Amino acid sequence: MRTRWLESASAEVAPSAVVDFSVRRAAGGLFAAAGVQAAVCVAVTWSAYPSWFRFGVLPVVAAVFALGCARLVTDRTPSSWVARLCGLGAGFSVAASVGVAGVDTGGTNVAEPLVGLGVFGAGLASARTAAVVLIAAHRSGLALAGTGGLGEQLGLGLLEVASFTAAVVGGGRLRRWAATYDGPAAALAAAVRQDAEWERVDVARREHARLSHDEPLFTIRLIAEGVVVDSPGTRARCRREAAILRGRLPTVAEPDLTRDLAVKAEQVRGLGLEVVVDHEGVPVPLRADVTSAVVGATGAALRNVVRHGGVAVAGVRVTWSPGGVRVVITDRGRGFDSTRPGGFGVPEAIGRRMRQVGGTATVHSVPGRGTEVTVAWPG
Protein backbone atom coordinates (compact mmCIF):
# COMPACT_ATOMS: atom_id res chain seq x y z
CA MET A 1 0.00 0.00 0.00
CA ARG A 2 1.50 3.31 -1.08
CA THR A 3 1.49 6.23 1.29
CA ARG A 4 0.02 9.64 0.64
CA TRP A 5 3.46 11.11 1.31
CA LEU A 6 4.99 9.17 -1.55
CA GLU A 7 2.04 9.81 -3.84
CA SER A 8 2.40 13.56 -3.33
CA ALA A 9 6.18 13.55 -3.70
CA SER A 10 7.51 15.43 -6.70
CA ALA A 11 10.82 16.56 -8.13
CA GLU A 12 11.01 19.01 -5.22
CA VAL A 13 11.73 16.17 -2.75
CA ALA A 14 15.47 15.77 -2.20
CA PRO A 15 16.91 12.30 -2.97
CA SER A 16 18.29 12.08 0.57
CA ALA A 17 14.79 12.63 1.99
CA VAL A 18 13.35 9.90 -0.24
CA VAL A 19 16.12 7.46 0.71
CA ASP A 20 15.78 8.29 4.39
CA PHE A 21 12.05 7.67 4.28
CA SER A 22 12.54 4.41 2.36
CA VAL A 23 15.15 3.14 4.82
CA ARG A 24 12.86 3.91 7.74
CA ARG A 25 10.03 2.12 5.96
CA ALA A 26 12.27 -0.93 5.54
CA ALA A 27 12.16 -1.30 9.31
CA GLY A 28 8.48 -2.19 8.94
CA GLY A 29 9.41 -5.27 6.93
CA LEU A 30 11.90 -6.35 9.57
CA PHE A 31 9.37 -6.01 12.38
CA ALA A 32 6.76 -7.89 10.36
CA ALA A 33 9.27 -10.72 9.79
CA ALA A 34 10.10 -10.71 13.50
CA GLY A 35 6.43 -11.05 14.32
CA VAL A 36 6.10 -14.05 12.01
CA GLN A 37 9.12 -15.73 13.61
CA ALA A 38 7.78 -15.07 17.09
CA ALA A 39 4.45 -16.60 16.06
CA VAL A 40 6.26 -19.75 14.89
CA CYS A 41 8.09 -19.97 18.22
CA VAL A 42 4.81 -19.61 20.09
CA ALA A 43 3.32 -22.48 18.09
CA VAL A 44 6.35 -24.71 18.73
CA THR A 45 6.66 -23.99 22.47
CA TRP A 46 2.99 -23.37 23.23
CA SER A 47 2.82 -25.64 26.27
CA ALA A 48 5.92 -24.13 27.88
CA TYR A 49 4.07 -20.94 28.85
CA PRO A 50 1.40 -20.42 31.50
CA SER A 51 -2.22 -19.66 30.64
CA TRP A 52 -2.00 -15.98 31.65
CA PHE A 53 0.70 -15.50 29.03
CA ARG A 54 -0.91 -17.56 26.26
CA PHE A 55 -4.45 -16.21 26.63
CA GLY A 56 -3.80 -12.80 28.18
CA VAL A 57 -0.51 -11.20 27.22
CA LEU A 58 -0.09 -12.87 23.84
CA PRO A 59 -3.41 -11.84 22.18
CA VAL A 60 -3.06 -8.22 23.33
CA VAL A 61 0.55 -7.94 22.18
CA ALA A 62 -0.26 -9.62 18.85
CA ALA A 63 -3.10 -7.18 18.13
CA VAL A 64 -1.07 -4.09 19.02
CA PHE A 65 1.95 -5.40 17.13
CA ALA A 66 -0.12 -5.97 13.99
CA LEU A 67 -1.50 -2.44 14.24
CA GLY A 68 2.02 -1.03 14.65
CA CYS A 69 3.34 -2.90 11.59
CA ALA A 70 0.40 -1.62 9.54
CA ARG A 71 1.15 1.95 10.59
CA LEU A 72 4.79 1.46 9.66
CA VAL A 73 3.62 0.87 6.10
CA THR A 74 1.20 3.80 5.93
CA ASP A 75 2.51 6.45 8.32
CA ARG A 76 4.61 9.41 7.28
CA THR A 77 6.76 9.16 10.43
CA PRO A 78 7.70 5.47 10.60
CA SER A 79 10.47 5.98 13.16
CA SER A 80 7.95 6.94 15.83
CA TRP A 81 6.17 3.62 15.32
CA VAL A 82 9.47 1.76 15.37
CA ALA A 83 10.08 3.22 18.84
CA ARG A 84 6.62 2.10 19.98
CA LEU A 85 7.17 -1.41 18.66
CA CYS A 86 10.53 -1.57 20.43
CA GLY A 87 8.82 -0.66 23.69
CA LEU A 88 6.13 -3.25 23.03
CA GLY A 89 8.81 -5.84 22.30
CA ALA A 90 10.62 -5.00 25.52
CA GLY A 91 7.46 -5.53 27.57
CA PHE A 92 6.68 -8.72 25.72
CA SER A 93 10.19 -10.04 26.34
CA VAL A 94 9.97 -9.39 30.08
CA ALA A 95 6.57 -11.11 30.26
CA ALA A 96 7.87 -14.07 28.27
CA SER A 97 10.92 -14.35 30.53
CA VAL A 98 8.74 -14.36 33.64
CA GLY A 99 6.58 -17.02 32.02
CA VAL A 100 9.54 -19.39 31.57
CA ALA A 101 11.34 -18.51 34.82
CA GLY A 102 13.53 -21.38 35.89
CA VAL A 103 13.53 -23.08 32.49
CA ASP A 104 17.20 -23.21 31.47
CA THR A 105 16.81 -22.97 27.70
CA GLY A 106 16.59 -20.13 25.22
CA GLY A 107 14.41 -22.25 22.94
CA THR A 108 11.28 -21.31 24.83
CA ASN A 109 11.96 -17.60 24.66
CA VAL A 110 9.63 -16.43 21.92
CA ALA A 111 10.98 -12.86 22.11
CA GLU A 112 14.43 -13.81 20.78
CA PRO A 113 13.67 -13.36 17.05
CA LEU A 114 11.59 -10.29 17.82
CA VAL A 115 14.57 -8.62 19.47
CA GLY A 116 17.10 -9.81 16.90
CA LEU A 117 15.30 -8.28 13.92
CA GLY A 118 13.77 -5.46 15.94
CA VAL A 119 17.09 -3.88 16.89
CA PHE A 120 18.22 -4.01 13.25
CA GLY A 121 15.04 -2.25 12.18
CA ALA A 122 15.47 0.30 14.96
CA GLY A 123 18.97 1.02 13.70
CA LEU A 124 17.69 1.66 10.19
CA ALA A 125 14.94 3.90 11.51
CA SER A 126 17.35 5.86 13.74
CA ALA A 127 15.33 4.89 16.83
CA ARG A 128 18.52 4.39 18.84
CA THR A 129 17.21 4.93 22.35
CA ALA A 130 14.33 2.53 21.72
CA ALA A 131 16.76 -0.14 20.48
CA VAL A 132 18.96 0.22 23.58
CA VAL A 133 15.89 -0.12 25.83
CA LEU A 134 14.77 -3.21 23.91
CA ILE A 135 18.17 -4.94 24.23
CA ALA A 136 18.58 -4.02 27.91
CA ALA A 137 15.06 -5.10 28.91
CA HIS A 138 15.30 -8.34 26.97
CA ARG A 139 18.65 -9.41 28.37
CA SER A 140 17.84 -8.28 31.91
CA GLY A 141 14.53 -10.13 31.92
CA LEU A 142 16.18 -13.34 30.78
CA ALA A 143 18.97 -13.01 33.34
CA LEU A 144 16.55 -12.37 36.22
CA ALA A 145 14.39 -15.31 35.12
CA GLY A 146 17.40 -17.56 35.10
CA THR A 147 16.92 -18.56 31.47
CA GLY A 148 20.21 -19.38 29.76
CA GLY A 149 23.73 -19.15 31.10
CA LEU A 150 25.83 -16.03 31.49
CA GLY A 151 28.00 -16.85 28.48
CA GLU A 152 24.94 -17.39 26.32
CA GLN A 153 23.43 -14.10 27.46
CA LEU A 154 26.63 -12.17 26.78
CA GLY A 155 27.10 -13.75 23.37
CA LEU A 156 23.54 -13.04 22.24
CA GLY A 157 23.70 -9.56 23.74
CA LEU A 158 26.87 -8.77 21.76
CA LEU A 159 25.22 -10.13 18.62
CA GLU A 160 22.24 -7.82 19.10
CA VAL A 161 24.52 -4.81 19.75
CA ALA A 162 26.53 -5.67 16.62
CA SER A 163 23.35 -5.99 14.57
CA PHE A 164 22.13 -2.64 15.82
CA THR A 165 25.52 -0.99 15.16
CA ALA A 166 25.67 -2.39 11.61
CA ALA A 167 22.21 -1.01 10.87
CA VAL A 168 23.11 2.43 12.22
CA VAL A 169 26.38 2.60 10.29
CA GLY A 170 24.91 1.18 7.07
CA GLY A 171 21.86 3.41 7.20
CA GLY A 172 24.03 6.45 7.87
CA ARG A 173 26.30 5.71 4.91
CA LEU A 174 23.30 5.25 2.63
CA ARG A 175 21.82 8.55 3.72
CA ARG A 176 25.13 10.38 3.22
CA TRP A 177 25.49 8.86 -0.25
CA ALA A 178 21.99 9.99 -1.19
CA ALA A 179 22.70 13.51 0.10
CA THR A 180 25.39 13.96 -2.59
CA TYR A 181 22.62 14.00 -5.16
CA ASP A 182 20.54 16.69 -3.47
CA GLY A 183 22.32 19.56 -5.23
CA PRO A 184 22.07 18.12 -8.77
CA ALA A 185 18.47 17.08 -8.14
CA ALA A 186 17.54 20.58 -6.99
CA ALA A 187 19.23 22.07 -10.07
CA LEU A 188 17.37 19.63 -12.30
CA ALA A 189 14.05 20.47 -10.66
CA ALA A 190 14.73 24.19 -11.21
CA ALA A 191 15.57 23.53 -14.86
CA VAL A 192 12.37 21.52 -15.31
CA ARG A 193 10.33 24.37 -13.81
CA GLN A 194 12.05 26.86 -16.11
CA ASP A 195 11.47 24.69 -19.16
CA ALA A 196 7.81 24.31 -18.21
CA GLU A 197 7.47 28.09 -17.90
CA TRP A 198 9.13 28.65 -21.27
CA GLU A 199 6.86 26.02 -22.82
CA ARG A 200 3.81 27.72 -21.31
CA VAL A 201 4.87 31.09 -22.75
CA ASP A 202 5.65 29.52 -26.12
CA VAL A 203 2.28 27.77 -26.25
CA ALA A 204 0.53 31.04 -25.40
CA ARG A 205 2.42 32.86 -28.16
CA ARG A 206 1.63 30.19 -30.72
CA GLU A 207 -2.01 30.16 -29.70
CA HIS A 208 -2.17 33.95 -30.02
CA ALA A 209 -0.55 33.78 -33.46
CA ARG A 210 -2.99 31.07 -34.55
CA LEU A 211 -6.01 32.99 -33.25
CA SER A 212 -4.76 36.16 -34.93
CA HIS A 213 -4.49 34.32 -38.24
CA ASP A 214 -7.75 32.44 -37.89
CA GLU A 215 -9.93 35.28 -36.69
CA PRO A 216 -8.85 38.96 -37.01
CA LEU A 217 -6.67 38.68 -40.12
CA PHE A 218 -9.25 36.51 -41.83
CA THR A 219 -12.01 39.02 -41.11
CA ILE A 220 -9.85 41.90 -42.34
CA ARG A 221 -9.19 40.00 -45.58
CA LEU A 222 -12.91 39.35 -46.09
CA ILE A 223 -13.70 43.02 -45.57
CA ALA A 224 -10.94 44.05 -47.98
CA GLU A 225 -12.19 41.61 -50.61
CA GLY A 226 -15.78 42.74 -50.18
CA VAL A 227 -16.97 39.31 -49.14
CA VAL A 228 -18.68 40.70 -46.02
CA VAL A 229 -20.31 44.08 -45.56
CA ASP A 230 -20.99 46.29 -42.59
CA SER A 231 -23.58 44.80 -40.26
CA PRO A 232 -24.19 44.50 -36.50
CA GLY A 233 -22.79 40.97 -36.61
CA THR A 234 -19.65 42.09 -38.44
CA ARG A 235 -19.07 44.95 -35.99
CA ALA A 236 -19.49 42.62 -33.00
CA ARG A 237 -16.99 40.21 -34.54
CA CYS A 238 -14.51 43.03 -35.15
CA ARG A 239 -14.77 44.19 -31.52
CA ARG A 240 -14.07 40.69 -30.27
CA GLU A 241 -11.14 40.22 -32.63
CA ALA A 242 -9.65 43.59 -31.77
CA ALA A 243 -9.22 42.26 -28.23
CA ILE A 244 -7.35 39.27 -29.65
CA LEU A 245 -4.98 41.57 -31.56
CA ARG A 246 -4.30 43.41 -28.30
CA GLY A 247 -3.18 40.11 -26.79
CA ARG A 248 -6.32 39.35 -24.82
CA LEU A 249 -7.03 35.70 -25.46
CA PRO A 250 -10.68 34.84 -24.95
CA THR A 251 -11.47 33.04 -21.71
CA VAL A 252 -13.37 29.83 -22.35
CA ALA A 253 -14.78 27.07 -20.22
CA GLU A 254 -13.52 23.51 -20.27
CA PRO A 255 -13.62 22.37 -23.92
CA ASP A 256 -16.85 20.67 -24.95
CA LEU A 257 -17.15 19.63 -28.60
CA THR A 258 -20.92 19.96 -28.95
CA ARG A 259 -21.04 23.38 -27.32
CA ASP A 260 -17.89 24.71 -28.99
CA LEU A 261 -19.03 23.68 -32.47
CA ALA A 262 -22.29 25.54 -31.86
CA VAL A 263 -20.31 28.63 -30.80
CA LYS A 264 -18.10 28.36 -33.89
CA ALA A 265 -21.16 28.07 -36.13
CA GLU A 266 -22.65 31.19 -34.53
CA GLN A 267 -19.42 33.12 -35.11
CA VAL A 268 -19.41 32.19 -38.79
CA ARG A 269 -23.04 33.27 -39.12
CA GLY A 270 -21.79 36.77 -38.37
CA LEU A 271 -19.92 36.56 -41.69
CA GLY A 272 -23.09 35.72 -43.59
CA LEU A 273 -22.84 31.92 -43.69
CA GLU A 274 -25.69 29.86 -42.23
CA VAL A 275 -24.35 26.68 -40.65
CA VAL A 276 -26.54 23.65 -39.99
CA VAL A 277 -25.01 21.36 -37.35
CA ASP A 278 -26.23 17.78 -37.15
CA HIS A 279 -25.18 15.14 -34.58
CA GLU A 280 -25.30 11.36 -34.81
CA GLY A 281 -24.40 8.88 -32.06
CA VAL A 282 -23.67 9.27 -28.38
CA PRO A 283 -20.96 11.81 -27.43
CA VAL A 284 -17.85 10.36 -25.80
CA PRO A 285 -15.34 12.23 -23.61
CA LEU A 286 -12.44 13.74 -25.55
CA ARG A 287 -9.18 15.22 -24.36
CA ALA A 288 -9.11 19.01 -24.23
CA ASP A 289 -6.43 19.27 -26.93
CA VAL A 290 -8.41 16.94 -29.22
CA THR A 291 -11.57 19.00 -28.77
CA SER A 292 -9.69 22.23 -29.50
CA ALA A 293 -8.10 20.73 -32.60
CA VAL A 294 -11.41 19.45 -34.02
CA VAL A 295 -13.20 22.75 -33.33
CA GLY A 296 -10.31 24.77 -34.77
CA ALA A 297 -10.13 22.63 -37.91
CA THR A 298 -13.91 22.89 -38.37
CA GLY A 299 -13.74 26.65 -37.98
CA ALA A 300 -10.96 26.90 -40.56
CA ALA A 301 -13.00 24.84 -43.05
CA LEU A 302 -16.08 27.03 -42.51
CA ARG A 303 -14.06 30.22 -42.98
CA ASN A 304 -12.82 28.90 -46.29
CA VAL A 305 -16.44 28.29 -47.31
CA VAL A 306 -17.17 31.93 -46.52
CA ARG A 307 -14.26 33.13 -48.62
CA HIS A 308 -14.28 30.70 -51.53
CA GLY A 309 -17.58 28.82 -51.55
CA GLY A 310 -19.95 31.51 -52.77
CA VAL A 311 -22.87 29.93 -50.91
CA ALA A 312 -25.06 31.00 -48.00
CA VAL A 313 -25.42 27.61 -46.30
CA ALA A 314 -22.98 24.94 -45.15
CA GLY A 315 -23.49 21.74 -43.21
CA VAL A 316 -21.57 20.23 -40.30
CA ARG A 317 -22.27 16.59 -39.51
CA VAL A 318 -20.81 15.17 -36.29
CA THR A 319 -20.67 11.37 -35.99
CA TRP A 320 -19.68 9.90 -32.63
CA SER A 321 -18.27 6.41 -32.18
CA PRO A 322 -16.91 4.59 -29.10
CA GLY A 323 -13.38 5.30 -30.27
CA GLY A 324 -13.64 8.95 -31.29
CA VAL A 325 -15.44 11.45 -33.50
CA ARG A 326 -15.77 12.35 -37.17
CA VAL A 327 -16.84 15.79 -38.43
CA VAL A 328 -17.76 16.39 -42.08
CA ILE A 329 -18.10 19.97 -43.35
CA THR A 330 -19.92 20.25 -46.68
CA ASP A 331 -21.02 22.99 -49.04
CA ARG A 332 -22.48 23.07 -52.53
CA GLY A 333 -20.44 26.03 -53.68
CA ARG A 334 -17.86 26.73 -56.35
CA GLY A 335 -15.54 23.94 -55.35
CA PHE A 336 -11.99 23.56 -56.65
CA ASP A 337 -9.60 20.91 -57.86
CA SER A 338 -8.67 19.10 -54.64
CA THR A 339 -5.98 17.12 -56.45
CA ARG A 340 -4.00 20.34 -56.92
CA PRO A 341 -1.33 20.79 -54.21
CA GLY A 342 -1.79 23.63 -51.72
CA GLY A 343 -4.69 25.98 -51.35
CA PHE A 344 -7.80 25.88 -49.18
CA GLY A 345 -5.81 26.04 -45.95
CA VAL A 346 -5.81 22.26 -45.50
CA PRO A 347 -2.06 21.75 -44.98
CA GLU A 348 -1.72 24.35 -42.20
CA ALA A 349 -4.96 25.50 -40.61
CA ILE A 350 -6.70 22.14 -40.82
CA GLY A 351 -4.23 19.33 -41.45
CA ARG A 352 -1.55 20.31 -38.95
CA ARG A 353 -4.09 20.84 -36.17
CA MET A 354 -5.35 17.30 -36.51
CA ARG A 355 -1.94 15.69 -36.98
CA GLN A 356 -0.71 17.26 -33.73
CA VAL A 357 -3.30 15.27 -31.75
CA GLY A 358 -3.09 12.08 -33.80
CA GLY A 359 -6.08 12.81 -36.03
CA THR A 360 -6.58 13.22 -39.78
CA ALA A 361 -8.00 15.79 -42.17
CA THR A 362 -8.99 15.14 -45.77
CA VAL A 363 -10.62 17.26 -48.46
CA HIS A 364 -12.56 16.30 -51.52
CA SER A 365 -13.73 18.98 -53.92
CA VAL A 366 -14.84 19.22 -57.54
CA PRO A 367 -15.13 22.55 -59.41
CA GLY A 368 -18.77 23.59 -59.57
CA ARG A 369 -19.96 20.78 -57.29
CA GLY A 370 -18.87 21.90 -53.84
CA THR A 371 -16.42 20.74 -51.21
CA GLU A 372 -16.35 18.17 -48.42
CA VAL A 373 -13.78 18.39 -45.60
CA THR A 374 -13.50 15.52 -43.12
CA VAL A 375 -11.68 15.76 -39.80
CA ALA A 376 -11.48 12.69 -37.60
CA TRP A 377 -9.99 11.52 -34.33
CA PRO A 378 -8.44 9.11 -33.86
CA GLY A 379 -6.97 9.17 -37.32
Cα separation, 156 vs 146, in Å, equals: 15
- pLDDT score for 226: 64
Q: What is the CATH number of the domain that holds 279?
A: 3.30.565.10
For residue 216, the model assigns a pLDDT of 67
| Domain containing residue 206 | 193-251
Mapped onto helix, strand or coil, the DSSP state of residue 362 is strand
39, 86, 235, 360 from 121: Cα distances, Å: 18, 9, 76, 58
Give a yes or no: residue 188 inside a domain: no
Reduced to 3 states (helix: H, G, I; strand: E, B; else coil), residue 213 is helix
Q: How far apart (Å, rounded) are the C-alpha atoms in residues 316 and 322?
A: 20
- The reply to whether 154 and 286 lie within a common domain is no
In the chain, what is the greatest distance between 2 CA atoms, to the nearest angstrom? 111
pLDDT in tens, the chain (379 residues): 344 434 344 446 777 777 777 777 777 777 777 777 777 777 777 877 788 888 888 888 888 888 877 777 676 666 677 778 888 888 888 887 777 766 645 556 767 777 777 787 777 777 778 888 888 887 787 777 777 677 777 777 787 888 888 878 877 787 788 888 887 877 777 777 777 677 666 655 666 556 655 666 666 666 666 666 666 766 776 777 676 666 665 555 567 889 989 988 888 887 788 999 999 988 888 888 898 889 989 988 998 888 888 888 999 999 999 889 999 999 998 888 777 665 545 556 688 888 889 999 999 988 888 999 999 998 5
Within 13 Å of residue 230, how many CA atoms lie on the same side as its CB?
A: 0
Q: Helices 232-245 & 216-225, crossing angle to 10 degrees?
A: 140
In a domain, 286, yes or no: yes
- Of the three residues 180, 206, 228, the one that is the final residue of a domain is 180
In a domain, 326, yes or no: yes
Do 80 and 131 belong to one domain? yes
Chosen domain end from 156, 180, 204: 180
> Residues 247, 297: one domain?
no
3-class secondary-structure state, position 95: helix
- Domain presence at residue 118: yes
Do both 124 and 205 map to the same domain?
Answer: no
**One domain, residues 293 and 242:** no
CB-based contacts of 188, cutoff 8 Å, min separation 6: 11
DSSP result, 123-151 = HHTT-HHHHHHHHHHHHHHHHHHT-S-HH
In a domain, 353, yes or no: yes
* Cα–Cα distance measured from residue 296 to residue 351, given in angstroms and rounded to the nearest whole number: 11
156 and 70 within one domain: yes
Same domain, 297 and 325: yes
263 shares its domain with 244:
no
Rounded Cα–Cα distance for residues 42 and 55 (Å): 12
Does residue 130 sit in the same domain as residue 199?
no
Query: Does residue 186 form part of some domain?
Result: no
Q: Assess whether 132 and 218 both reside in one domain.
A: no
Paired with 363 in beta bridges are: 373
Q: Which of 210, 229, 251 is the last residue before a domain boundary? A: 251
Residue 185 lies in a domain: no
**How many angstroms separate the CA atoms of 229 and 222, rounded?**
9
pTM of the model as a whole = 0.44
In terms of domains, do 238 and 261 share one? no
> Tell me, what's the pLDDT at 375?
94
The Cα–Cα gap between 21 and 73 comes to 11
298 lies in some domain: yes
What is the pLDDT, as a whole number, of residue 98? 77
Q: State the total domains in the chain.
A: 3
Q: How far apart are the first and last CA of the chain?
A: 39
Residues 311 and 242 in one domain: no
